[in-house]
Amino acid sequence: MKLVLEGRPQPSRAAVWFAPLLATAATLVVGFVVFKAFGKDPLAAFDAFFIQPVATRYGIAELLLKATPLMLIATGLAIGYRANVWNIGAEGQLTLGAIAGGGVALAVGDAEWPSALLLTVMFAAGALAGMLWAAIPAWLRTRFNANEILTSLMLVYVATLLLSWLVHGPWRDPEGYNFPQSRLFTDSALLPNLVAETRLNAGLLIALAIVAIAWVFVRRHIVGFEMRVAGLAPAAANYAGIAAKRNVWLGMLAGGACAGIAGVGEAAGPIGQLLPSMSPGYGFAAIIVAFVGRLHPLGIVFASILMSLLYLGGESAQMNLALPSAVTGLFQGTLLFFLLAADVFVNFRVRVVQPAAAT
Amino acid sequence: MPDAHGGARLELRGITKQYPGVLANDRIDVDVLPGEIHAVLGENGAGKSTLMKIIYGIVKPDAGTIRWEGAPAHVANPAQARKLGIGMVFQHFSLFDTLTVADNIRLAVDEQDAAQLPARIRDVSARYGLTLDPARRVHTMSVGERQRVEIVRCLLQEPRLLIMDEPTSVLTPQAVLRLFDTLTKLAAEGCSILYISHKLDEIRAICHRATVLRAGRVTGTCDPRQETNATLARMMIGGDLPHPRHREVAAGKPALVVDALDLAADDPFGTTLRAISVTVRAGEIVGIAGVSGNGQKELLAALSGERTLDRAGAVTLCGKPAGRLAAYDRRRLGLAFVPEERLGRGAVPEMTLAENTLLTTRDGALVSHGFIRSEGVRAFAAKTIAAYGVKATGPDAVARSLSGGNLQKFIVGREINQQPKVLIAAQPTWGVDVGAAAQIRQALIDLRDNGVAVLVISEELDELMEICDRLAVIAQGRLSPAKPIHETSAEEIGILMAGTAETSGGDREALHA
């Protein structure tokens, strides 16, 4: 008796949803081993990692707060990923969005703009800046065939340094005791809270609205369809007359806009000013979220909540168990690893065979 | 002729192979005698290739026994098969384009003494009439010559059983005759040959015995020389071959005009098109014959708009210059196009048939204001499936799950359902079973009868002779003038197919890279 993998005639619908669950379970097993290796009681560790962070109303609000930029960015990236446009630089686009949105907030300053108007201008500026940053790799790709994976990634560091220069230099808060940070935004430049005594704000609603729009675009609009075709079968896209360059532009700009909006959401939400770093790596974690969510908007919403839990759990494990914060990155990596491995079951199934009688 | 001492060289008993959803081989028994050319005849999907792969050790059977020269044999992999004395020439060659003939052969025949090899290649090729220059690079060779490399590579191992998988599908009529000489000679020396084909004339011409497969089972064994095409076809498809109806229609206005089209090759081993001119009128079928790799791929891309041209007037569609238009815009002028590759080009493998409909169809019932109307799309796909007898579970079946012939029927149906003014079809029946092929040919003829201009590019000369009104030949990037079908002959076409550099009646012997 032996096990063989055999191709499925049709990809399994069940496995599409089963694979992420399997990957999550496998990640927990690895977590068990890791906690054991650190000499911690695994059950207590799981409790500290996955239960305690969301045991309170505040905890759940934090969970959704952190999920907000992740789902937003992942939704934008997924549009490009479906068309094989690999934007890896969302972290940089987020930073540029925060710079532009924050720049508007700082420039308006105490001039009494209505909050709705100010926030609209801030988000528009952030989206445009994110798109502008994403347009650079798009142009390099369509003009010189430069690999967008490399160019978009490299621009992350440029964006980080740009923000760093701004908050250390021209935009530094003159009354900030020389700390590298901007002035605090005025109240009208801050997103309204959704739940009292938490940090959860209206950014979540913006993210969910964009997820819904993206869903309609991908599933119902012909351009979304064309981008899926381009990703699955480039020769078929060419045959159908779908312009490859347009897909690169759309894919990059969608990712850039969403990341830019997420950057404004961070600046105008939980942070309320510009700091040298506006995100604990949301732009990179969102890549994992996009794949764990199978590039599907609804899947991305769930995956972003899972990823957010890993962030909170990592912090909690650091505080309560004295584990290094790297444990968050370890869980993220393990999850992505198992997810890609579990993907095999979508197109293959395991079958038990008796040895062939032929000799 | 098979000798009569009774010992079969190869004995297959009860070979069974189950793939997910299909029983590819169902208790197959075959005996191959020494010196026998044994045909394995069957439609696409009948299980021929699976059976050959089992013999050659690529696929393991679920049940059944193989005996080789009287003793039980366990063929675990192709290397073991070669050691036993089994050689196989595949339909798709596995040669390195940038290497020479000798290098290609050296890679496969590892135990050979390298210094001796060129001499041995010359030896074997002279003995079997397979002219080859060991020092030539493969990319300069025609398909027929490449096949010779594959055959010589097998013969150097002195096989006692040679498996040939659809060997003539890429050859000119003259090259086919020469291949037959080689095979006859080999058989006379005692080598057994398993000859896989669905071409009935060929099998009747050279095979001593035929095993006919249908849906994974042996449906008969016969002496093909005693049979007619009709009786063989009945065994193969379980019914009679349909014959296309051809109605006389006066051709109308020119619908597709190609005028002095020049196009440089876009890859190093591609073909540059030179001054190609052809006119297809409404209500006629024009065929383009030729051995593959002579510019068909480039011409198709230029006609479909997958490659746009610098000069708008090089391609005129329904009176409008279209050379600079992309594929989508040409389609809006009334062009429909059936590409050679079904999976990945004509259809997205992972998408459903309904979604694949949207690749080329965008009318108001399917897409309005940029939004997809899924009911309309599904209805269109369902209509195509019903009208062309596509075997699929419905509009939601994934393209990849269909057999090649069924998917081809779907693609042809999808293109025809758009009521085009011009239809271009490349290899419309390539790898399609006989029944489906007849249906596709009939669909093309019906289209012509309804006043559509049809251009068919095919390597199957028989097919072109059957359905076309006029026929042109492409060779080395040049197109001969299209001649009415009754003013030409297979021989003349064959000579044109071999190209202008023709020297010894062969296929492009003297082509210089």
How far apart are the C-alpha atoms of B347 and B360, rounded to whole Å? 10
Chain B contact set for A225 (CB, 8 A): 355, 358, 372
User: Helices marked H in B333-486 — which ranges?
Assistant: 353-357, 374-387, 404-416, 434-449, 461-467
Of A221, A235, A243, the CB nearest to B370: A221
Contact B63 A357 (CB under 8 A): yes
C-alpha angle A178/A183/A184, rounded to 5°?
130
Residue of A226, A238, A239 to mutate for B, most B C-beta atoms under 10 A: A239
Of the two residues A63 and B364, the one the predictor is more confident about is: A63
**Could you identify the residue written with the tokens 């972290």?**
A91
CATH of the domain at A273: 1.10.3470
Domain with CATH 3.40.50.300 in chain B: 10-237, 254-498
For residue B513, the model assigns a pLDDT of 33
This complex has an ipTM of 0.78
Top-level class of domain B254-498? alpha beta
| Residue A139: domain span | 41-322
**Residue B325 near residue B413 (C-beta atoms within 8 A):** no
Whether residues B348 and A236 touch (CB distance < 8 A) is answered with yes
Of B62, B347, B401, the CB nearest to A9: B401
Q: Which of B306, B350, B358 sits opposite A239 (nearest CB)?
A: B306
Pair B23, B174: CB distance under 8 Å: no
Per residue of chain B (513 residues), what is the pLDDT tens digit?
Answer: 444 445 889 999 999 998 766 788 999 999 999 999 999 988 766 788 889 999 999 888 999 999 999 899 888 888 889 889 999 988 777 888 888 888 888 887 766 577 788 888 888 888 887 888 888 888 887 777 888 888 888 888 889 999 998 887 767 777 788 889 889 999 999 999 999 887 788 888 899 999 998 888 898 899 989 988 888 878 887 766 666 666 666 778 899 999 999 998 877 777 889 999 999 999 999 999 987 778 888 999 999 999 989 999 999 999 999 999 989 899 999 999 999 888 889 999 889 999 999 998 888 788 888 898 888 999 999 999 998 888 888 898 888 888 777 888 999 999 998 899 999 999 888 767 777 888 889 999 999 999 999 999 988 787 888 899 999 999 888 999 998 988 888 778 878 887 643 333 333 333 333
- Give the A-side interface with B, CB within 8 Å: 6-11, 220-223, 225, 228-229, 232-233, 235-236, 238-243, 356-359
List pLDDT tens digits, range A225-278. Answer: 999 999 999 889 989 988 888 999 999 999 999 999 999 999 999 999 999 999
Backbone angles phi, psi at B486, to 5 degrees: -80, -5
Strand partners for B281:
B254
Backbone angles phi, psi at B203, to 5 degrees: -65, -40
Give the minimum alpha-carbon distance from A356 to chain B in angstroms, rounded to a whole number.
5
Between CA A315 and CA A301 the distance in angstroms is 22
Question: Mean pLDDT, to the nearest integer, of A203-217?
Answer: 94
| Residue A331 counted as domain residue | no
Q: Are A228 and A218 in contact (CB under 8 A)?
A: yes
Give how many domains chain A has, as a whole number.
1
Which class is B10-237 in CATH? alpha beta
- DSSP code, position B305: T
Interface contact flag, A241 B327, Cβ < 8 Å: yes
Cβ–Cβ gap B360/A356 under 8 Å:
no
Give the pLDDT score at B509: 37
Q: List the single best residue of A222, A223, A245, A354 to mutate versus B (max B Cβ within 10 A).
A: A222
Going by their DSSP bridges, the two strands B161-165 and B86-89 should be labelled as parallel
In angstroms, the separation between the Cα of residue A123 and the nearest Cα of chain B is: 27
Do B351 and B399 touch, CB atoms closer than 8 A?
yes
User: Per DSSP, which regions of B190-333 are E strands?
Assistant: 192-197, 209-214, 217-222, 254-263, 273-281, 285-289, 315-317, 320-321
Instruction: Please give, rounded to a whole number of angstroms, the shortest distance from the CA of A225 to a CA of chain B.
Output: 8
CA distance A11 to B344: 17
CB B426 within 8 A of CB B340: yes
Q: Please, are residues A38 and A317 in contact by the beta-carbon 8 Å criterion?
A: no
Contact A236 B347 (CB under 8 A): yes
Under 8 Å between Cβ of B131 and B122 = no
Residues of A in contact with B370 (CB under 8 A): 221-223
Which DSSP string corresponds to B198-232? S-HHHHHHH-SEEEEEETTEEEEEE-GGGS-HHHH
Q: At A307, phi and psi to the nearest 5?
A: -65, -35
Q: Cβ of A222 and B362 within 8 Å? A: yes
**Using the beta-carbon criterion (under 8 Å), do A358 and B398 form an inter-chain contact?**
no
Q: Collect all residues with Cβ–Cβ distance below 8 Å to A80 and sequence separation of at least 6.
A: A86, A87, A250, A251, A252, A254, A255
- The tokens describing B27, both together, are 């208790």
Q: Rounded to whole angstroms, how far apart are CA atoms B122 and B131?
A: 8
The answer to whether residue A21 sits within a structural domain is no
Instruction: Write out the DSSP string of A178-208.
Output: T-S--PPPPGGGSPPBSSTTS--BTHHHHHH
**CA distance, residue A224 to nearest chain B CA (Å):** 10
Write down the residue that tokens 């003793």 correspond to: B71
B472 within 8 A of B294, measured Cβ to Cβ: no
Give the pTM.
Answer: 0.75
A120 min Cα distance to partner chain B (Å): 27
CA dihedral A108, A110, A114, A119 (to 10 degrees): 50
Closest-CA distance, B374 to chain A, in angstroms, reads: 8
Q: What letter represents residue B143's amino acid?
A: V
Which of A116, A120, A68, A114 is CA-nearest to residue A94? A68
Taking alpha carbons only, the member of B472, B471, B416 closest to residue B439 is B416
Give the mean pLDDT of A351-356: 64
Q: What's the DSSP call for residue B323?
A: T
Residue A94: is its pLDDT beyond 90?
A: yes
| Residues A80/A252, Cβ–Cβ less than 8 Å | yes
Find the residue in B nearest to A346 (Cα). Answer: B350
Q: If we measure between CA atoms, which residue out of B5, B56, B48, B87 comes closest to residue B203?
A: B48
Whole-number pLDDT of residue A348: 78
- Rounded to the nearest angstrom, the minimum Cα separation between A82 and chain B is 13
Cβ-nearest to B328 among A9, A233, A241:
A241
CB distance A223–B74 less than 8 Å?
A: no
Test B351 with A228 for CB contact under 8 angstroms.
Answer: yes
* Mutation target vs B (from A216, A238, A242, A348; most B CBs, 10 A cutoff): A238
Mark yes or no for CB contact A241/B305 under 8 Å: yes
Burial class (CB in 10 A: 0-12, 13-18, 19+), A177: exposed
Asked whether residue A275 is domain-assigned, the answer is yes
**Residues B93/B167, Cβ–Cβ less than 8 Å:** no
Mean pLDDT is lowest, of A49-53, A202-206, B428-432, for B428-432
Total length of chain A: 359
| pLDDT on residue A275 | 94
Alpha-carbon torsion angle A299, A302, A304, A310, nearest 10: -130
The per-residue DSSP string of B40-67 comes to: EEE-TTSSHHHHHHHHTTSS--SEEEEE
